Amino acid sequence: MAWKIPDGAFDEELAEYYLSFVPGVTYKQFVRYVKWAHEKEIVMNPVTFIASVKQISNEEATKIMFQK
């Protein structure tokens, strides 16, 4: 990895926002996904988070995000 995970990536308020789209996922799981995205060099955003957790396409994840 050429870059370090910013400390703000683990902010609990940010995590709450992301987790609001995927009920049942814990903060600890959120942290694991952030680390996984870093390993894969994926820029994590709400759409990619939803897609990776639910194992769906980004298009389907976008629909979920806008339904909220």
Residue 2: what pLDDT? Answer: 60
Q: Measure Cα distances from 5 to 25, 27, 38, 58 in Å.
A: 21, 16, 7, 23
pLDDT in tens, 4-16: 888 888 899 999 9
Q: Where are the domains of the chain?
A: 24-67
Using CB atoms within 10 Å of the CB of residue 55, give its burial: 0 to 12 exposed, 13 to 18 middle, 19+ buried.
Answer: exposed
Residue 9: what pLDDT? Answer: 84
**pTM of the full structure:** 0.80
Which of the two residues, 9 and 20, has the higher pLDDT score?
20
pLDDT in tens, 22-64: 999 999 999 998 998 889 888 889 999 999 999 999 999 999 9
